[in-house]
Amino acid sequence: MSSIRVQPVIMAGGSGTRLWPLSRAQHPKQFLVLQGNRSLFQQAAKRLASLADQNIAVAPTTVVGNEEHRFLVLDQLRELKLSPATLLLEPSGRNTAPAMTLAALYAAEADGDPVLVVTPADQTVTDEAAFTAAVRQAVRVAATGAFAILGVKPDRAETGFGYIRCTPGAAGDGALTVAQFVEKPDAATAQRYVSEGNYYWNSGMFVVRASVWLAALERFRPDIASATRAAWLKKEVDESFIRPGKAQFAAIPSESVDYAVMEKCPEDGSFDIRMVPLAAGWSDLGAWDAVWQVGEKDSDGNVAVGDALLRDTHGTLIHATSRLVSVVGLENVVVVETPDAVLVADRTRSQEVKHIVGELEGAGRSEHTLHRLVHRPWGWYDSICAGPRFQVKRIMVKPGASLSLQMHHHRAEHWVVVSGTAEVTNGRQVILLSENQSSYIPLGEVHRLRNPGKVPLEIIEVQSGSYLGEDDIVRYEDTYGRVEVIDKPS
Instruction: List, for residues 426-454, the tens digit of each pLDDT value.
Output: 999 999 999 999 999 999 999 999 999 99
pLDDT of residue 150: 96
Segment among 316-320, 333-337, 372-376 with least mean pLDDT: 372-376
Q: What is the 3-state secondary structure (H, E, C) of the chain?
A: CCCEEEEEEEEECCCCHHHCCCCECCECHHHCCCCCCCCHHHHHHHHHHCCCECCEEECCCEEEEEHHHHHHHHHHHHHHCCCCCEEEEECCCCCHHHHHHHHHHHHHHHHCCCEEEEEECCCECCCHHHHHHHHHHHHHHHHCCCEEEEEECCCCCCCCCCEEEEEEEEEECCEEEEEEEECCCCHHHHHHHHHHCCEEEEEEEEEEEHHHHHHHHHHHCHHHHHHHHHHHHCCEEECCEEECCHHHHHCCCCCCHHHHCHHHHHHHCCCCEEEEECCCCCECCCCHHHHHHHCCCCCCCCEEECCEEEECCECCEEEECCCCEEEECCECEEEEEECCEEEEEEHHHHHHHHHHHHHHHHCCCCCCCCCCEEEECCEEEEEEEEECCEEEEEEEECCCCECCEEECCCEEEEEEEEECCEEEEECCEEEEECCCCEEEECCCCCEEEECCCCCCEEEEEEEEECCCCCCCCEEEECCCCCCCCCCCCC
In the predicted structure, residue 210 carries a pLDDT above the cut 90: yes
Confidence of residue 170 (pLDDT cuts 50, 70, 90): low
For residue range 104-114, list pLDDT tens digits in order. 999 999 988 99
Which CATH fold topology does 373-477 show? Jelly Rolls (2.60.120)
pLDDT band at 143 (very low <50, low <70, confident <90, very high): very high
Q: What is the pTM (predicted TM-score) of this model?
A: 0.88
Q: How far apart are CA 93 and CA 102, in angstroms?
A: 13
Please give the pLDDT value at position 484: 56
Q: Give the pLDDT score at 55.
A: 92
What is the location of CATH 2.60.120.10 in the chain? 373-477
Mean pLDDT of 118-123: 94
Res. 83: pLDDT tops 70? yes
* CATH 3.90.550.10 segments of the chain: 4-277
Burial of 323 (0-12, 13-18, 19+ CB in 10 A): exposed
State the CATH architecture for 4-277.
Alpha-Beta Complex (3.90)
Is the pLDDT at 219 greater than 90? The verdict is: yes
Query: To the nearest whole number, what is the mean pLDDT of the chain?
Result: 92
- Predicted confidence band at 377 (pLDDT cuts at 50, 70, 90)? confident
Residue 486 scores a pLDDT above 60: no
Q: What is the mean pLDDT of residues 288-293?
A: 93
Name the band, by pLDDT with cuts 50, 70 and 90, for residue 370: confident
